[in-house]
Amino acid sequence: MEVKTDSAISIRDLKKTFDGREFVMNGLSLELPRGKITVLIGYSGTGKSVLLKHILGLLKPTSGSIHILGQDITDMNTRELTKLRNSFGMLFQYAALFDDMSALENVIFPLKEHRRELSRAQMIETARARLKESGLDEKHYNKQPSEMSGGMRKRVGLARALALDPAILIYDEPTTGLDPVLTEMVDNLIVSTHNARKGTTSVVVSHDLYAAFRIADYVAMLDSGRVLLHGTPQDFLDSDIDLVKRFVSKGVRKELQVHTDAPEEK
Ligand SMILES: Nc1ncnc2c1ncn2[C@@H]1O[C@H](COP(=O)(O)OP(=O)(O)OP(=O)(O)O)[C@@H](O)[C@H]1O
Ligand SMILES: [Mg+2]
């Protein structure tokens, strides 16, 4: 069934139980607007990764519906899902590059899989364009991941995520475990990539509240498999919801510590 909607991703009353008793998704509804950056936040175990897996069609809902770009994905077969997944670009916490391939070959890989109509020369041209877009200096294109810095590897990972020109970009904890300088580079890269690709919808799962507020058009906070608050960063700062207030003050306090070494408040 096709649904006319302005949302890139539309989730209605999603429920998921793995054991038939506990609901990990507990009637979650969320509309992610096209062309915007939405950051998903929430305490550990609230269902962020499970939600992402539903969006990617890796998990089937117990009940409820999920539309991606107007298409209902809940009863798609494997072949349809594989095709749909090509409209997603994904960048994970660990860029997960192929260690025995150069930067360029890493980006060519998805083209070989899904764009067989392209000639080798066209693939190289496309891969080079994506690497350039991701800000990797040309002199590194033939290096293997082990010869690159963490920042360079992230750029290659992003270039590979962009290879198939995805309508939706998904970042799962893209900065977790990175130092502050690299974190800022990746955050800036997410924003510049988003802005350079008109109409792209970006979804970022992040523990880093400060970054979330800096890059997000909208933030959605999950709690117990539901959306606790979905709004602009300002809505979060203004919120009266206790859990939101606690989460926000924790993030802000952490940021103060990083910059001023202020002692932790009790
Ligand atoms: N395959 C599974 N089988 C059973 N339970 C699962 C499975 N995957 C996730 N869960 C449960 O679902 C809940 C939500 O997990 P999820 O991984 O989505 O949390 P999260 O918000 O991503 O947490 P974190 O911030 O730590 O990554 C947890 O209670 C988890 O134990
Ligand atoms: Mg998770």
Q: Is the CB of 50 under 6 A from ligand 1?
A: yes
pLDDT mean across residues, the chain: 89
Say which residue, 71 or 207, is predicted with more confidence: 71
46 lines ligand 1 (CB under 6 A): yes
Minimum mean pLDDT range among 71-75, 113-117, 145-149, 172-176 = 172-176
Residue 265 has pLDDT above 80, yes or no: no
**Amino acid 266: pLDDT:** 37
> What gap in Å lies between CA 243 and CA 247, rounded to an integer?
6
CA distance 173 to 150: 15
Centre of ligand 2 to C-alpha 124, Å, is: 34
Q: State which of 23, 48, 176 you would mutate to test the pocket of ligand 1, scoring each by most atoms of that ligand within 8 A of its C-beta.
A: 48
Identify the residue whose C-alpha is closest to ligand 1 atom 26: 44
At residue 248, the pLDDT reads 87
Contact 28, 42 (CB under 8 A): no
Which residue owns the Cα nearest ligand 1 atom 8?
Answer: 50
Delimit the CATH 3.40.50.300 region(s) of the chain.
1-87+168-235
- Type and span of the H or E element at 261: none
Q: Reply yes or no on whether the pLDDT at 260 is more than 80.
A: no
Q: Tell me, what's the pLDDT at 5?
A: 57
Burial 36-57 (b: 16+ CB within 10 A, else e): ebbbbbbeeebbbebbbebbbb
- Per-residue pLDDT reduced to its tens digit, 10-60: 999 999 999 999 999 999 999 999 999 999 999 889 999 999 999 999 899
Indicate the CATH number for domain 1-87+168-235: 3.40.50.300
- Please tell me the predicted confidence (pLDDT) of residue 258: 46
Is 28 in a helix, a strand, or coil? strand
Read off the pLDDT of residues 204-246 as tens digits, 9 standing for 90 and up.
998 888 888 899 999 999 999 999 999 999 999 999 999 999 9
- What is the SS3 assignment for 159-183? HHHHCCCCCEEEEECCCCCCCHHHH
- Give the tokens for residue 228: 């606790």
Across the range 161-169, mean pLDDT stands at: 93
- 129 Cα–ligand 2 center, Å: 32
Nearest atom in ligand 1 to the alpha carbon of residue 46 is 21
Residue minimizing CA distance to atom 16 of ligand 1: 47
